Structure 1
């Protein structure tokens, strides 16, 4: 660039300022790994434990496919005054459960690795899911 070109110098200054501004705007944003503790979540890129965080829930309709399960049945009324226990196979038809809610927070334990997302300009943390090794 020619140092005598004030427009070129101005363009370079503006480009640098915009790059810095963009970098600052997105710093502290995005997904990050963390570990659940007994009183919060510790993000890998933040030195303090976050005690006030959010956990994703997934409300909706749960569809269960047709399946066969084996289980115990007890108290059969027609045999020995209902005192018989036996093992049987049960064919469960496809069904839907309305207003089902998968609550991730109830299944997390200290030491679990999680994927978290920063939202609201980095002011809030939402734990999205538990992460495990693909080789486990």
Structure 2
């Protein structure tokens, strides 16, 4: 039985492309981890990552018309506070974490670094 050289070449190209795609995509998988007092310990990576990155979310803060009821320190009783809709540009949301927090992270540089994307909490109540 003879093997068609063109078919063999096409199969080799396909296999190599699939292998390279898997290598690239495997680096994009997120992982759960736990923050420690000295770094980040990912569930699927045996070493603690001492210096990790934290995602920051730049953007524009848009607030709708808002009315709040509360007490004031100037007098006794309750008061109503009304705020008009507003838009503030160039704001940034930086999330704060503490040791023991479970987080979702994106390993990069072969797992030597990671970007913490957000804190993960139980949805079960």
TM-score (norm: length of structure 1): 0.71
* Separation (CA, whole Å) in 2 of partners of 1:98 and 1:16: 49
Q: 1:69 to 1:15 in 2, by over 3 A?
A: same
* Separation (CA, whole Å) in 2 of partners of 1:17 and 1:101: 42
2:17 paired with 1:5: no
Task: Give the match for residue 93 of structure 1.
Answer: 84
Distance apart, 1:74 and its partner CA: 2.7
Asked whether the 8 Å contact 1:29–1:122 carries over to 2, the reply is no
Asked whether the 8 Å contact 1:29–1:121 carries over to 2, the reply is no
CA RMSD across the alignment: 2.5
Unaligned runs of 5+ in 1: 76-83
Structure 1 or 2, whichever has the larger Rg, is 1
* Separation (CA, whole Å) in 1 of partners of 2:72 and 2:18: 68
Unaligned runs of 5+ in 2: none
How many residue pairs get matched?
124
Any idea what SS the aligned residue of 2:106 has? strand
* Separation (CA, whole Å) in 1 of partners of 2:91 and 2:20: 44
Any idea what SS the aligned residue of 2:121 has? coil
Asked whether the 8 Å contact 2:31–2:105 carries over to 1, the reply is yes
Task: Give the match for residue 101 of structure 2.
Answer: 112
